[in-house]
Structure 1
Amino acid sequence: MRHLFAFLLASSVPVTVLAQRPAHQHSKHHDQTGIVTGRVVQADGKAAEQVSVRVKGTQLGTTTAADGSFELNIPAGWQVLTVSCLGCTPQEVTVEVKAGQRVEAAAVRLAAGEQQLTEVTVTGNKGLNERTPSVGKMPIAPLDNPQATLTIERPVLEQQQALRLSDVLANVAGVYVMGSTGGTQEEIASRGFAYSSSNTFKNGVRFNNGIMPEVSSLERMEVLKGSAAILYGNVSAGGVLNLVTKKPQFQRGGSVGLRVGSFGFVKPQFDVYGAVGQSNKVAFRLNGTYERGDSYRDGVSSDRVYVNPSLLFRLTPKTELIIEGDYLRDNRTPDYGIGAIDYQIQDSRSRFLNVAGANNATNQTSATATLTSHLNEAWQVRAVGSFQRYDNALKSAARPTSIVATPGATYGNWTRSLQRTETAENYFLAQLDLTGNFRTGFVGHTLLVGADADQYDTNTLAYTNPASPSKPTTAVSTYDVINILDPDKVIAQPAERLTDFNSLVRNSLTKGNTRRAGFYAQDLLSLSDKVKVLAGLRWSYQETPSDVYTYNTIASVAAKTANTYVENRRYDNAFSPRLGLVYQPIKTTSLFASYANSFAPNTGLDLQGNSLAPSLIDQYEVGIKNELFKGALSANVTAYRIVNSNQSQSVLPTDPRYTTNFTTSPMELAGQVISKGVEVDVQSRPVNGISLIAGYSYNFTAYEKSNIYEDGSRLRYNPAHTANASLYYSFGNVFANGVLRGLNAGVTAYYVGDRLAGRNNRTLNPATGKPWVDTNNNPINDAFKLIALPNYFLFDASLGYSYERVSVRVKLANLLNELSYNVHDDNSINPIAPRNFSATVTYKL
C-alpha cells in the first residue's frame, strides 16, 4: 500500500484511521454530568467528518458527524477536549461543564500537521450509516435521513475485481439488472421501476446509460433508494444511482495494471495523480483503460477506450473548483440472444443469431465543472455546469421475432430483416445549491435551497427498407431466412433480398429538445436530540417538443408524396413534496417513516384531445437503521409501498366515452400499479481483517386496476427475491510479518429469484375492448404469454496478494456454472456468463 500522509496533509481532509463510534460513557444517568456540543471544520472551512474528540485524561470520546458536529456527555467541571486526526495538528479546547446543562465549545479549525507519518494503510472503515451520499445534496447523516441509502467504496470494487456495473450492484439489496437488450447495455431497476437515463448520474449529473459505464474510474457508487423527485425532478420512483469518479490528489502517485481473463479478455489500465508542478493550489488526475475481448457467445466481440482527466483548483482557502471530463468509445457486436419459439426459450449459451458486420458503435464525451465555496462555517454554495455528447450508430439484424412455431420442416425458421439508426445527443445542465446550518430557538435546521435546469437536444435518424425493383410500390424487407435451431441449415432464399446495411434508405429524422427546470427547498428540523423532521417541496417544469421529418423513401410511388413534417409539443409541470420523521431512541438506532411523491410524463391525448397529464406516484417508506457492536456492524431494514394510482392506459372502443373522432386511441389516467417490498442491508467495518456486506430484498409489483390486464398480475423483469453476501478476509492480522502478511481472500454470493419476461396476458382485446375470439367468433386465448425465468445463484471466489508495490488478484466467477437469462419481451434473450477466470496485476507508482 502507498503512503497516504502527503495526500491527507495537502488536501486538509482529515481521516481517522481507526474511527470510533460515539462513546456512551455511562450506562445510567449521572446528575453530575453535562452535555458539550461543538463543531470542527477543516482549514478551508469544510465540515470535518470522523475527527476524534476526546476528554483529556479519560477514555471518554467520540467522533464528529458528517457536518463536523459532536456531542459528549461528560462529568461537570473544567474539562480539556483534545481534537485530533491523521495529518493534522492536535488541538485542545477548554470548556466548563455544568451539571445538567448543555454548553457549546468554541469552534475548532484544524491545521495541517508538519510531522512525517510512518506508512499507514487506510481501508474502508466507515460504517453503512456514516457515509453521506453526495447525490443527496445535503450534509445529512444517514441516521438522520428518512430514506434508505447505500454506498459501495473503491476498496470493495478492487477486492471483488468489479468489471461491470452489475458486479457492483450485486452488493446492493433491491437494485438489480432487469435486462441487457442487445447486449450493449445493462438495464437497471429497483423496486419494480426501471432506471432510465434520468435516474443514472455521474458526479451528480445525469448521463446517458445506453452504454455500459466504465467501472475502473470509480471512487464509489452511491444509491439513493426510493423517490428522489424532490432533488432531481423527473426520476422514476425506484431510486437514483450516482457514479463518483476518482478525484485529483496533491500527493504524487498512481498505478498501472493489466487484467486478463477468459474468452480472450485483455484490459490494461493506468491511474496517475499529483500536484501540478510544485503547486499547492492545483492538482490533477488522469486514469484510463483499453479493453478488448471475445465472448462465450459465438460471433460476439467488443473493444473500448476510456480516459478520465480531472483538475482541482483551490481558488481561495474556502473555494475550490473541480473540472472533470471523460471520453468513452465503445464498439461491440449487438446481440439479441438465442431466440424463443412461441414464448419458449430454446436453451443455449452460445447460439448467435445476428448477421455478419453487425456493430453498435458509441462515443460518449462529458465535461463537468463544480464550484464549491464555504461562505462561512455554516453556509456553503455549490454550482455545477455540465455538457455531455452522445453519439450512437447501430447496424444490426432486427430482434428475433415471428419465428415459425408450427411443427414441420419450417419449425424454427426466422426471416431476418435489418435495422439501422444514428443518434446524436447534446445534454446541458446548470445547477445551483445553497446549504446551511442554523437555529431558530430550540430548533436546529439543515437547509437546502436550489434550482436546476437542463436540456436534451437529440437527433435520431432511422432507416427503412428500399423499394422493390419489380414492385415499386412495395418494399424489400428480407435479408435472409435461417433456422435458429440450426443456423447452418440450407433454406431457399427469396429472389429479392437486402444485400447489406447500405441497402437501407433514410426513413425519418426525429428532433427532440427536452427542456426541464426545477426549484426546490428541503429542511431537516432537529426538534430535539431524538426527534427530527425532514420536509421539502419541488416544482418541476418540463417541455418536450418532438419534430418528426418523414422522407419519401419509395420514389416511384404513384402519388409521389413529398417529405412530411409533424410538430409535437408537450408542456408538463408537477409539485413533488417530501415529508419524513426520524426518531432516535439511542444514538445508534434510528426509526423513520416518510412520504414522497414523484411524477412520470405520459404520451398521447386524453378524451378532450389535450396532452395527457403526468402520472403522480406516491411512495410510503418505514425503516430502522442500527449501528451495532460499537459501530462494527450496520444493519438497516426498510419496508415500502409505491402506488401509481393514475397509470396511463388506452380507452377501449367499448367505452361509451370513446368516439371515432380520434385518429389514435385516447388515453386516460385510470390504471393502478402497486409495488411493495422489504429490503435489508448489512455492512461491517473491517474487524480483525474481516469485512462483510450482505443484503436481502423482496418485491411484488403488480397491476391492481387495469382494463386489459388481470388484477394482481405481476409486472415483468422484477425478481421477487434477491440476496447477496460478500465476505473478505485479510491475513495481515494473523501474519503481521513475513511474506503472508499481504495475502487476502474473499467470496461473493448473489441470488436472483423468480422473474417473468415475455408479455403479460390481456383479458380483453385492446383493439375491440371485447374478449378474444377467432375469425369464427369462437373464444380463444390471448397470443401474449409470460416466460418464467429460472432462479440462479452466482458464487465467486477471489484471492489476492500484495508485496510492496506489486499486487496480484485472481477471480473465479460463477463457479457453479449457473445458467439463466436476462430477457426483454421474448425477443432479446441473453444468457448470463458461464464459469470464467480473470487475473489482475497492479504496480503502484
Structure 2
Amino acid sequence: MDLLDPVPRHLQCRRSRQKSFARGGSLSMIDRNTLLLLAGGLLLLCAAPTPAQQVAAVPLEVPRLDQIPTASTSAAHLAQQPAEPSQAQAPAQPDAEELDEVTVTGTGTYRRSRSSTATKTDTPILDTPQSIQVIPRQVIEDQGTVRLRDALRNVSGVYLQSTDGNIGEYFNIRGFSARSYTNAFLSSGTDSLLSLDTANIERVEVLKGPSSVLFGRAEPSGVVNYVTKRPLPAPYAAVAFTAGSYNFYRTTADLSGPLTSDGALAYRLNVAYEDANSFRGVQGRRVFFAPVLEWKIGPDTKLNFEIEHNRDNRVFDPGLFAVGTGVAPVPYSRLYADPRGLIFGYATRATAVLEHRFAENLTMRTGGRYANYLESFPLQFTPGELLADNRTLVLAYLEGNQFYENVAFQNDLVWRAQTGSVDHTVLFGLELSKFATGFAGTFGSANSIDIFQPPPYTYEFPPASERFPFMGNTTTSGFGVYLQDQISFSDNLKLVLGGRYDTVSAPFTDLLAGTVNPSEGQAFSPRVGLLYKPAANVSLFANFNQSFAPSFGRSATGTPFLPTRGTGYELGAKAELLGGRLFANLALYKIAKANVVTRDPANPGFSIQVGEQESQGIELDLTGEILPGWNLIASYAYTDAKISRDNTFPVGNRLPTAPLHGGSLWSAYRVSEGALAGWGVGAGVFAVGERFGDLDNSFSVPGYTRVDAALYYRRGWLNAAINFKNLLGTQYIEAATFRYAVHPGAPFTVQGTFEVRF
C-alpha cells in the first residue's frame, strides 16, 4: 500500500510530500556548555504541548477569517522588503561571502561572486564545478516579489510545480521535484508546507543536479537554498507599506543593530503583516516575524540564534481542473471550492548555530534546528471528480488536521591544508535527524454542481454514513556522514571528490487499520567534479553526482522497496564578462532516476518499483551589471524530461511540469546623478512552454509569455516603487499538479510600495 492510500485523493494532492521529508541533521561531540547553548532556545519552543498531542483530537475549533481581529494598520500593508544599508555601513565580515550579501541601495548589482551552497565552504562560483545560480535581494526588490515563485522564475530550468491549494510552494528543477533548504545547513519538510515569507530572505541560491553528498536524501533535480538576513553592526530601521490590486495590503519592518557597546551582541528583526484577496476571490491573512541574535563570544567563536514564526490563514483553492486533454473552458477566476473553507497554518522554526575557529586553517560549525507545523482544515468543499458528461462536478468534503515536527543536528569540520604545491579544503560532516508527521480527519463525497453554471454554489454535507475517517503517522529517522576534498593543483586546475553514506528508517502507521508499513534504506552517494580555467575569467567544468531518496510504501508481496537513485552528468562553462560585472553559466546535463515507485495496476492499493525516468538539456544564465546602474538577469532552458522505462505509462511520455523550452529576461536601470538621480525603470519577459499535467500525459496546459514592468524612485531615506505585473493581461496556467489541481496565474495587477529608512 502506498504511504497516503488511507487519505482521499484531494488531500493526497496537497500532502504528497509526506513521502519524502526529513532532511538530515547531525549531532556533534561538543562540550557541555555549548550543548546547553544549542538546546536552550529549542526547549523554549518545546515547552508548549506538541502538535503530536493535538492531532488525534477532533479538528481544532478555529474562527472564520472574518472573525479574526484585524491589525490596527487598516488598509495598508507593504510587500517589498528593503535592501540593506550601503556597504559603507556594512559589517566588517571575516570572508567575502558575507560581504557579498550586502545590497547597495539604489545602485546594487545583481552580480554575486561567491556561494557556500555547492560545497558548504566559501568558494567562488567561477571555481565551483557545478551549476549554481544566485538570486540576490536586489532582484527580489526590483521585481516586487512577495512569493518566492516570482524570484525563482529568473533561474533556468526551475518551474513552479504546485501551490498546494494556495498554501505552499513546490518547485521543479530539470524535470524533477526539488527540495528547499534554509541557510544551506539545516532544513525540514516544513519549509515548503507553508510558503516562506520574503521579508527575511537575503538571497536564494539554486544548485543544479544530484546533490546528496552534501544535502542527504533528495531528488536528482538539485536544491533551493534560502539564505536569511544577518544582524548589522550599525543601527538600522526600515518600514514599508505595499498596496495592490484585489485589495492586497502588506506592511513590513526591518530592524537591526548592536545590543552592546562593543558590538559583540547584535540583533535583526523582520516583521510582516499581510491581508489580501485575489482575482479568484479567496482571502488570506498572514503574520510573520523572524528575530535573529548574533553573539561574538570571542575572536574565534560566534553563536547565532534565529526564530521564524509564520501564522497564515487563507482559503484552500486547488484551482481549476482538466477536461479532456486541456484545461476546463471556464473563466480562470471561477472558484469551485467553498470560499469559506479556510486552512489555518502555524509554522515555527528555531535554529542555533555555533561557529568556532580552532586555528587559522581549522574551523567547526555545529547547529541544531527544531521546526513544527500545525495545520487545521475545519471544513472544506473542493472539486472531487468530474463525471463523463464533462460538466457535472462531484464535490469532495474534508475536515481534519495534521502536524509536522522535525529535530535535526549537524556538524561540519573544515580543514585547509597543503601537500606540497597542492591545496586542499577538506570537509567532514555528520548529520542526525528525526521527523514526525501525522494526520487525522474525515472525508466523503458531497453534492454535485454544474461547472458551466456561475457561482454561488450550494455545498451540502454528505450523510454521516458516507463520511469516512483517516488517521496515520510517519516517523522518519536518518543519519548521514560525508567527506569532501576540494583539491587545487594550481590556479587553473581544480578537482572536487566527495562521498556520503546515509541510512534512513520511515515506517508508516495506519492508526485505523492498526498496521505498520516499514520503509528502510541506505546508500552511498559519490561526487566528482573537475574544473579547468583556460583564462583567469573563464572556467570549463564537468561533474558526476549521485542522489539517494527513500522509497515509501510496500509491494503486494510485502517486500520493502529499494531507495530511488539519481545519477547526473554535467558539462559546462562559466565566464566573468565586462570586467567581472556580468557572469555567464552554460551547462549541458543528463540525469537518470532509477527505482521509481508507481501504483501496481494488478494489485490496487499496492505499489511497484517499475523503472526509470530521465532528463537531459541545456541551460544558459546571465547575471550582473552591463553598465553602472544597468542590471540584467536572463535565462534559457531546454528540458527534455521523460519516462525511459515503465510498465504502466508509455515510454517516452514527458514528465509533468517541465516544458521543453522556458526562459526569462529582466533588466533594470537607475539614474545615479543629475536632475533624474534616484529614478529608475525595470522591465522583463518570462516565457514558459507547453507542459503536461501528469505522467499519463492525459492533458496539457498551454505555454505563455508574461511581461512585467516597474518604476522606481530611491534616494536617501525614501524608497518608492510601482510594479506592473502581467502587463499585457496574459491568461496562463502557473502549474498543473494533476487533473484536479490546475493553478491559474493572476491577470494584470499593479503593486505600489512606499518605504522609509532610518
Q: Residues 192 and 238 of structure 1 are in contact (CA less than 8 Å); yes or no, is this contact kept in structure 2?
A: yes
- State the match for 1:321 in structure 2: 303
Q: Residues 434 and 449 of structure 1 are in contact (CA less than 8 Å); yes or no, is this contact kept in structure 2?
A: yes
- State the match for 1:798 in structure 2: 710
Correspondences of 1:146-161 after superposition (within 5 Å): 146-161=129-144
AA matched with 2:433? D
Question: Residue 205 of structure 1 aligns to a residue in which SS?
Answer: coil
Which of 420, 425, 440 is the equivalent residue of 1:441?
420
Deviations 1:302-343 (A, max 9, x none): 110000101110000111111110110111111122333344
* Aligned mates of 2:267, 2:176 — CA distance in 1: 38
- State the match for 2:65 in structure 1: none
Superposed displacement of residue 716, structure 1: 1.4
- State the match for 1:12 in structure 2: 92
Superposed displacement of residue 424, structure 1: 1.3
Q: Residues 553 and 560 of structure 2 are in contact (CA less than 8 Å); yes or no, is this contact kept in structure 1?
A: yes
Name the count of aligned residue pairs: 672
* Aligned mates of 1:812, 1:122 — CA distance in 2: 19
Higher relative contact order (CA 8 A, sep 6+): 2
Q: Residues 461 and 507 of structure 1 are in contact (CA less than 8 Å); yes or no, is this contact kept in structure 2?
A: yes
Question: Residue 677 of structure 2 aligns to a residue in which SS?
Answer: helix
Correspondences of 1:240-319 after superposition (within 5 Å): 240-298=223-281, 300-319=282-301
Q: Residues 694 and 726 of structure 1 are in contact (CA less than 8 Å); yes or no, is this contact kept in structure 2?
A: yes
Deviations 1:586-639 (A, max 9, x none): 111111111011122223445864211112211001100011222122111011
Whether 1:426 and 2:405 are equivalent positions in the alignment is yes
Question: Residue 514 of structure 2 aligns to a residue in which SS?
Answer: strand
Q: Residues 401 and 414 of structure 1 are in contact (CA less than 8 Å); yes or no, is this contact kept in structure 2?
A: yes
TM-score by length of structure 1 reads 0.75
Which of 480, 484, 499 is the equivalent residue of 1:518?
480
Distance 1:323 1:489, change over 3 A: closer
Superposed displacement of residue 650, structure 1: 6.0
Question: Residue 234 of structure 1 aligns to a residue in which SS?
Answer: coil
Q: Residues 219 and 246 of structure 1 are in contact (CA less than 8 Å); yes or no, is this contact kept in structure 2?
A: yes
* Aligned mates of 1:594, 1:307 — CA distance in 2: 40
Superposed displacement of residue 135, structure 1: 6.2
AA matched with 2:299? P
- State the match for 2:44 in structure 1: none
Question: Residue 182 of structure 1 aligns to a residue in which SS?
Answer: coil
- State the match for 1:102 in structure 2: none
Distance 1:621 1:808, change over 3 A: same
Whether 1:667 and 2:608 are equivalent positions in the alignment is yes
Superposed displacement of residue 354, structure 1: 1.1
Q: Residues 110 and 631 of structure 2 are in contact (CA less than 8 Å); yes or no, is this contact kept in structure 1?
A: no
- State the match for 1:557 in structure 2: none
Distance 1:332 1:664, change over 3 A: closer
- State the match for 1:462 in structure 2: 441
Deviations 1:451-499 (A, max 9, x none): 111111222113235xxxxxxxxxxx42x222111045999x99xx438
Deviations 1:487-533 (A, max 9, x none): 45999x99xx438xx99977233121101110000001112222211
Superposed displacement of residue 404, structure 1: 3.1
Q: Which moved more, 1:160-169 or 1:387-396?
A: 387-396
Distance 1:527 1:488, change over 3 A: closer
Distance 1:758 1:346, change over 3 A: farther
Q: Residues 591 and 625 of structure 1 are in contact (CA less than 8 Å); yes or no, is this contact kept in structure 2?
A: yes
Superposed displacement of residue 685, structure 1: 2.8
* Aligned mates of 1:459, 1:365 — CA distance in 2: 17
Distance 1:699 1:810, change over 3 A: same
Superposed displacement of residue 347, structure 1: 3.3
* Aligned mates of 2:457, 2:738 — CA distance in 1: 29
TM-score by length of structure 2 reads 0.84
Superposed displacement of residue 405, structure 1: 3.6
* Aligned mates of 2:308, 2:545 — CA distance in 1: 34
- State the match for 2:664 in structure 1: 724
Question: Residue 157 of structure 1 aligns to a residue in which SS?
Answer: helix
* Aligned mates of 1:378, 1:162 — CA distance in 2: 40
Q: Residues 204 and 242 of structure 1 are in contact (CA less than 8 Å); yes or no, is this contact kept in structure 2?
A: no
* Aligned mates of 1:359, 1:705 — CA distance in 2: 41
Superposed displacement of residue 358, structure 1: 0.5
- Among all aligned residue pairs of Structure 1 and Structure 2, give the percentage whose two residues are the same amino acid: 28
Which of 585, 602, 625 is the equivalent residue of 2:551?
602
- State the match for 1:547 in structure 2: 509
Distance 1:829 1:648, change over 3 A: closer
* Aligned mates of 2:88, 2:490 — CA distance in 1: 40
Superposed displacement of residue 802, structure 1: 2.3
* Aligned mates of 2:106, 2:360 — CA distance in 1: 28
- State the match for 2:18 in structure 1: none
Runs (5+) with no aligned partner, structure 1 = 14-45, 52-64, 67-85, 87-119, 466-476, 551-563, 654-661, 762-785
* Aligned mates of 1:815, 1:278 — CA distance in 2: 50
Distance 1:833 1:402, change over 3 A: same
AA matched with 2:261? Q
Q: Residues 149 and 160 of structure 2 are in contact (CA less than 8 Å); yes or no, is this contact kept in structure 1?
A: yes
AA matched with 1:307? F
Whether 1:576 and 2:525 are equivalent positions in the alignment is yes
- State the match for 1:234 in structure 2: 217
Q: Residues 147 and 621 of structure 1 are in contact (CA less than 8 Å); yes or no, is this contact kept in structure 2?
A: yes
- State the match for 2:312 in structure 1: 330
Q: Which moved more, 1:598-607 or 1:235-244?
A: 598-607
- State the match for 1:481 in structure 2: 448
Question: Residue 158 of structure 1 aligns to a residue in which SS?
Answer: helix
* Aligned mates of 2:618, 2:243 — CA distance in 1: 39
Distance 1:126 1:749, change over 3 A: closer
AA matched with 1:217? N
Superposed displacement of residue 361, structure 1: 1.0
- State the match for 2:489 in structure 1: 527
Deviations 1:357-383 (A, max 9, x none): 201110000110111112222121101
* Aligned mates of 1:789, 1:651 — CA distance in 2: 27
Superposed displacement of residue 418, structure 1: 0.4
Whether 1:339 and 2:303 are equivalent positions in the alignment is no
Distance 1:696 1:140, change over 3 A: same
Q: Residues 2 and 805 of structure 1 are in contact (CA less than 8 Å); yes or no, is this contact kept in structure 2?
A: no
- State the match for 2:569 in structure 1: 620
* Aligned mates of 2:340, 2:607 — CA distance in 1: 42
Which of 162, 173, 181 is the equivalent residue of 2:156?
173
Which of 675, 683, 692 is the equivalent residue of 2:632?
692
Distance 1:642 1:48, change over 3 A: closer
Q: Residues 248 and 273 of structure 1 are in contact (CA less than 8 Å); yes or no, is this contact kept in structure 2?
A: yes
Q: Residues 338 and 382 of structure 2 are in contact (CA less than 8 Å); yes or no, is this contact kept in structure 1?
A: no
CA RMSD of superposed structures (Å): 2.7
Q: Which moved more, 1:723-732 or 1:274-283?
A: 274-283
Question: Residue 417 of structure 1 aligns to a residue in which SS?
Answer: strand
* Aligned mates of 1:134, 1:404 — CA distance in 2: 48
Distance 1:571 1:295, change over 3 A: same
Correspondences of 1:124-163 after superposition (within 5 Å): 124-125=108-109, 127-128=111-112, 130-134=113-117, 136-163=119-146
- State the match for 1:215 in structure 2: 198
AA matched with 1:798? A
